[in-house]
Structures are given as structure tokens and as C-alpha cells.
Chain A
């Protein structure tokens, strides 16, 4: 089995005060994708920030790639002002900056940037101003920026949000290709089907770690319910109204509801 790129044991993450997320133990191996799943406020972003050294952590074991450029990130949405005068190619080239430091980019760097742009299917737009791209294209450009750093570990924060079907399939394909190249990926998502499609293992959290195991074993009704208490979500194409939500909505107690979308819609009306 390939070596772990990330190895975390008995870790808690936070920003000074009480930890946002605690009791976390997991690993991500080279060529493996791990899904990070939990409701809003569960501590997913804090965990990602902790891995980057931007949030505090306490841990028995804490091993993450430390050299510059070894961790690539894709934010939920672009933070670049659309009016900023940069082309797509220049944004992607930013991904080389951590590795280059103050050195000038050479031929090899330009080739890596071109390949990263090609990998996300935006070669024809490389001279386009970043702000003139569509939202989906900007996300793909930022993914290319992360790839241009040739990361050992890639942190993708809700990468499937707001993508149309075609872009989603393209992204899934990119994830598979990166895995084949030996890149370790940690992907936060709300979409359990996508987690099943590409993620070998899943880390389920909600303020603490609920489970970490093979995706099929983790995404069971009980565990998802434990993580998503008082939330409604989809599982296996059905809408799941978990105990607390259902109790709040209908006054019933300790009662799992698993039904198809249409019926759920009718019930909530």
C-alpha cells in the first residue's frame, strides 16, 4: 500500500478558544481521495485551515507535506476581483510561485502551466482575462492553478458546488487522473453520491470525528444521521429527514424517515 501523505492522530483544531473540531484521526495516502463530510459549521474548513497551518492544532501525530507548493488548494469560490487585470494563464502561473520563490519561470514551468490549463480543458481561453470567464470556468482555472504547483496533497473545498453536469463529470475525471498520478486528495462535499464515485475513504465530522473508514462503510444511515442531526439531506437518491429535523417539523420522536423526493416534498408542504 502507498505511503500516507497526511497522518493525523488525536488532533483538535481551532482558533485559540475552544476547539472547533476534536478527536480527529485519519490519513490520506498517495493516490487516494478522502471525502470530508459534515454539516455547515462542523469544522471542515477549520480542518483544512489546520492542515495548511492557518488554524491552530494540538495532536499526538501531525504529519502533512511541509515544503512550499506541496499542498494545493481549491477554495469554494474565486476571491479574485473580476476586474483585476490578469489573464487565465497568469492566474494558473501563480500556482508556480511557491516553488519558484524569487526565481524566473523557465521553460519547464511554462510547460507545467500549459499542461495544467489543458488538464481542465481551458487551453483556448488561456489569454482571456480571468474576470471574463464564467463562474465554472474560474473554478476550473483555480483548480489548474492548484495543479500547476505539482502538489502532493490537494485540498478541494466543495469543488462540485454550482457545477453543471458536464463540468461535474470533467472534474470527476480530473480527480481520477490525479489519483492515478499518485496525488493525495482531501475533498469536502455535501454530495454523498460524488463521495462514493471517487473517494476511497470518508471522514465524517460534526465538531468531532464521527467516523473514518471506507466510504461505503462510513456513509450509513446511522452515521450520517449522527453527523447531520437536524438536517435534511439526500442519500441514495432519497431525501433523509433526520430525527431532530423530523421531530421539529412534525412533533414525532426517534423516527427515521427515508422516502423519495416527491413524497418528502409533499410531506413538507
Chain B
């Protein structure tokens, strides 16, 4: 079966949205948004190097992601240098290295496609990688969901219960890194964080139960992908940017919804009847 380029793009944004939503819940519950942001930038030099060497771009991005996660873990262990410092250094160093490599490259590299994606040019291999990772993410949540949530909510309690928090942490970081790499063709290295974090953060604002987040976040991410893609076609915009903006708009709507729901209804008199009774 062959699909035209737009159908392929539609399939890819749907799969990538589901994946980003599921993994985004992990990012939001474990408060790893800044880490994810840094990781998206850190994969950039790997992609540039892979393009220069003529090897698979996701492979180059994945290698860079693994190397930079290792460096981040090393910096994070230095006393007085927290994980935020490590992520900050990783973010800027990764991006700078990518720019440097690009300037050194004798070939013309289409950097923009790495940075903001080029979903209309996705290949069957890109789609297959996203589909496989989506299956992995579903299996991980199904099997290890209680461990991921317990260790996210109460790391100390998880440790006191005789379990090792580094295991769910390593699983979470690996899944986040793999997702960043897999959705690069859709939204690129820089905009990837929008599709991962915004839908899950929006879901967290409107539902009160992590299991509901696992349904709502992928739906918002898929809707962001599809709406962004369709809008980009009609309005002749860059698809990656349109998708990221729709995801951000969903977050804004969720925030308004949550604020409205929190605001008490009725007048002060109806809310405090004892005030009006003589």
C-alpha cells in the first residue's frame, strides 16, 4: 500500500501525537519538562553529524541524546550543581555544537528541517520508528505504570518500600529521549518539547487522575498534530510551527478552563448564607 505524502504526514502526526502524549504524562508527573527541553536541543548536533556522515539521522540524534544524558547525569551528581544546571549546560552546549558542526560542514545541510521538522517529507522508516516506540510506550505504561507513578509522586516512600527509584527514572529518561528522537521529523528538535509537554500539562489542568491524563494527553497531542498539519496546508505555513502553536493554544484553553472551574460560582451572599441570616 502506498500513501501520498499528505496521508503519510497525517499518519505520522497521529502516531507521534499519541506517543508524545503518553510520554508527556511521564515528563509532567516527574517534572522533567526542562530536561526534555534540553534533550531536544542536545539531539541537534547528532542529527547534523549524521547528515554530514551520511548515516541515519535518528541514529545520530539518538547517539547524541545518550551521550548528553550521560554528561547531564555526571554534572547533576556534582555537589551544589543540581539537575537544572546540568540541563541548562546541555541545552546550550548541544545547540552550539550543532551550529558549529553545520558551519564546518562542506555540504549544505538543511538545518531547518532538523530544528522545526519536515513532516511532509516523512519516510516509511520514520513512521515505523514512531509506531514501534508508541507500542513500547503503551507496554511500559501498562506494565510499569504503578511504579512510574509511585516513584514520581513519592520517591522517598518508593525507596522505603524496598524498591530502587533509579530503575523507573532510567526507564522514564530512556523513553523521553527515544520519543524526542522519534518525533524529530514531525516537529524538529526545538519544537518537539511543545508536542510532548503542552498536551500533558493541559491534561493535568483539566483532569484529577493520572489515568485520565493518559487518555486526554494523547488526544490533545493528536488533535494538535492533525489541526496543525491541516492548518499548515490551508494557510501555507511551516507544519512544525503550526503544530507547536496549536499544542500551546490547547494548553492556554486548558488553563482558562481550570481557572474558570476553580472560581467559585454565585454571589458572596449565596456562597455564605450565614452572612445574610440575622
User: Which residues of A are in contact with B by a Cβ distance under 8 Å?
Assistant: 52-54, 68-69, 71, 73, 75, 78-81, 84-87, 90-91, 93-95, 97-98, 100, 102, 105, 129, 142, 145, 149
Contacts and interface: CB of A to CB of B under 8 A. Distances in A.
Contact of B208 (A85, A105, A145): A85
Top 9 A-B pairs, shortest CB-CB distance: A94-B150, A73-B160, A98-B161, A85-B210, A84-B153, A129-B208, A68-B162, A80-B154, A80-B153
B164 to A, nearest CB: 11
B144 A97 contact: no
Contacts of B152: 84
Interface string B210-236: 101100000000000000000000000
B253 interface: no
A102 to B, nearest CB: 5
A102 B162 contact: no
A182 to B, nearest CB: 20
Nearest to A93: B146
B82 interface: no
Main secondary structure of the interface of A (DSSP, over half): loop
Task: Tell me what chain B mostly uses at the interface: helix, strand, loop, or mixed.
Answer: helix
B143 interface: yes
A86 B158 CA distance: 15
A94 B146 contact: yes
Contacts, number: 75
Contacts of B213: 85
Contacts of B212: 85
A95 B158 CA distance: 9
Interface residues of B, number: 26
A129 B154 CA distance: 15
Interface centre among B155, B207, B208 (most CB of A within 10 A): B208
B159 interface: yes
Contacts of B160: 52, 54, 73, 75
Given A80-B154, A86-B149, A97 B209 contact: no
From A73, A80, A97, A100, residue with most partner B Cβ within 10 Å: A97
A74 to B, nearest CB: 10
B163 interface: yes
A97 B155 CA distance: 13
B28 to A, nearest CB: 9
Given A84-B29, A90-B149, A100-B146, A149 B154 contact: no
B163 A68 contact: yes
B252 interface: no
Given A80-B154, A94-B146, A100-B146, A71 B210 contact: no
Nearest to A48: B160
B227 to A, nearest CB: 25
B162 A52 contact: yes
Nearest to B208: A129
Contacts of A86: 149, 153, 209-210
B204 interface: yes
Q: Which of B155, B157, B213 has the most chain A CB atoms closer than 10 A to its own CB?
A: B157
Contacts of A105: 146
A78 B208 CA distance: 19
B254 to A, nearest CB: 13
